[in-house]
Chain A
Amino acid sequence: MANIDLSRLSVMVVEDSQFIRSLIVNSLRVLGVGTVKSVDDGGQAIEVLKLVKENPMKAGMMSVDIIISDWEMSPVNGVMLLRWIRRHKESPDRFVPFIMLTGYSEPKRVQEARDMGVNEFMSKPFTVNALADKIFSVINYPRQFVHTSSYFGPDRRRQSIPIDGEERRILTDESPQVEVIRG
Chain B
Amino acid sequence: MANVSVRYYRRKNSLREKTVGLGKISNDDIGFDEDAMAAAIAALDEMAEDYPDWVAGLIDKLSEQHRRCVDSPEQRKSYFEIINSIAHDMRGQGGTFGYQLISDFADALYFFTHAQAGMSDNHVEIIKAHVDAMRVVIKNRINGDGGEVGKELQNGLEAAIKKYSKK
Contact = CB atoms under 8 A, between A and B. Distances in A.
B91 A103 contact: yes
A139 B21 CA distance: 11
Contact of A179 (B8, B31, B103): B8
Interface residues of A, number: 56
Interface centre among A2, A4, A180 (most CB of B within 10 A): A4
- Interface majority SS on B: helix, strand, loop or mixed? helix
A179 B96 contact: no
A159 interface: no
Interface in B89-116: 89, 91-96, 103
Contact of A124 (B7, B15, B92): B92
Interface stretch (A19-27, A39-47, A48-56, A79-87): A19-27
A19 B15 contact: no
B95 to A, nearest CB: 5
Indicate the size class of the contact surface on chain B.
Answer: 35 or more
B71 interface: no
Interface of B: 1, 3-13, 15-16, 18-20, 25, 27, 29-33, 36-37, 39-41, 43-44, 47, 50-51, 54, 85, 88-89, 91-96, 103
Interface of A: 1-6, 8-9, 16-17, 19-20, 22-23, 26-27, 30-32, 65-66, 72, 74, 95, 97, 103, 124-129, 132, 136, 138-142, 144-149, 155, 171, 173, 176-183
